Amino acid sequence: MSAPLEGITVLSIEQAISAPLCTRHLADLGARVIKVENPGFGDSTRHYDGVVRGMAAHFVWLNHGKESAELNLTDPADAEVFARLLTKADVLVSNLAPGALGRLGLDPADLLERYPRLIVVDISGYGRGGPLDHKRAYDLLVQAEGGSASITGLPGQPAKPGIPVADIGTALYAYSAVLAALYDRDRTGRGTVIPIAMLDVVAEMMGFALNAVLHGGEEPEPVGMGSPMIAPYGAYATKDGQTAVLGTTSDREWRRLAGDLLQRPDLVEDTRYARNADRVARRAELDEILGAWCAVRDLADIQRLADEAGIGNARLNSVRDLAEHPQLAQRHRWRQVGSPVGPVAALLPPALGQGWEVPEGRVPALGADTAAIRAEAAELQLPDRADDDSV
């Protein structure tokens, strides 16, 4: 067994979620990730809380498998250490504030000229250019600008999804782009600069809603536990105090739900509900019908009957329910990773090829690897401009 990114070195000037999740996935595949942190404070997520035996939940989630080096990149000596590390790095990932890389003398285009095989991922909120390129961007802010909060929640009550989808979506695009860039470098011998704007990621995720507005003219209305684009599809209280989630995603499924699950052939034959657009227009009527049907049945019976009818269904779980979910436990999705306070639970990476080794990883203490990394950098030779021109 081997890890597919073994031998790849990633430098990361990162904080919060988007860049750290990208680089953690790279570490999961065997890349060496050197996380550069401000001396004395480090990544801001280190200080969100102390729920993991004194460590922050976000930091533990996002940073196992990495090395931590405390470097002050505004200090010439530390900037030189970083420059030396770049000579052996394959990838640099950053999600600093707008313009911060340039102020540190690390403009992505200049870096690529100096280190032609380097892959530079520059994550920002809104991209370069345009009226918002100077603004800081956090998940909530980008979701607000990107419209995703407007189709979440209820009419007049917009909501941010509980999962930071702008951050996570950006991380996954950055991760996949790095893998593509490594493949491209094998073919061409050159690195690249990959700018990724969080707003662009949210705009891509909003594709169906954008099409509804661009081509249909109507703003999608948020519907809570459901989708503004299909019906019936939602959450319904059960007789035993649970919540069943079920619905349809096609006209054929609707006929199965109405005829086989609800035992209502009259609904199957009713032309007012024949097409999804018709059902969306009569969402309230259908929610009332499904709600009444679920209210007199226990969750287990609803799920059994739905499975028999070929209708997708789920139970509305809490976070604790997820932590104890038998589907994760029986498929051995949990593992232990090291940390300054001993082993802690972590999930295996979602995507692994057969025969890929998963590195053990650890959650690094702030600056745990600084001394070793400084010594390593001292052995590396800085390139000069003459060398660059000859490449």
Determine the Cα–Cα distance for residues 245 and 303; give it in Å rounded to an integer.
9
Query: How crowded is the C-beta side of 15, counted as CA atoms within 13 Å?
Result: 16
- Residue 254: how many other CB atoms lie within 10 Å: 25
Alpha helix locations (H) across the chain?
Answer: 18-28, 57-63, 76-86, 100-103, 108-114, 139-146, 165-188, 198-205, 207-211, 251-256, 265-269, 276-281, 283-295, 299-309, 319-323, 326-330, 370-378, 385-390
Task: Quote the distance between the C-alpha of residue 50 and its chain's center.
Answer: 22
Which amino acid, 1?
M
Determine the Cα–Cα distance for residues 321 and 169; give it in Å rounded to an integer.
24
Structure tokens given for 295: 């209210």
Opening angle at CA 298, ends 294 and 304, nearest 5: 90
List the one residue out of 349, 266, 259, 271 whose CA is nearest residue 309.
259
SS3 81: helix
Any idea which residues carry the catalytic annotation?
A: 167
- β-bridge partners, 334: 347
Burial class for 23, CB neighbours closer than 10 Å (0-12, 13-18, 19+) = buried
How do strand 192-197 and strand 119-124 relate by DSSP bridges? Answer: parallel
How do strand 9-13 and strand 32-37 relate by DSSP bridges? Answer: parallel
Residue 343 and residue 23 in contact, taking contact as beta carbons nearer than 8 Å: no
Is the Cα torsion angle 199, 204, 205, 209 positive or negative in sign? positive
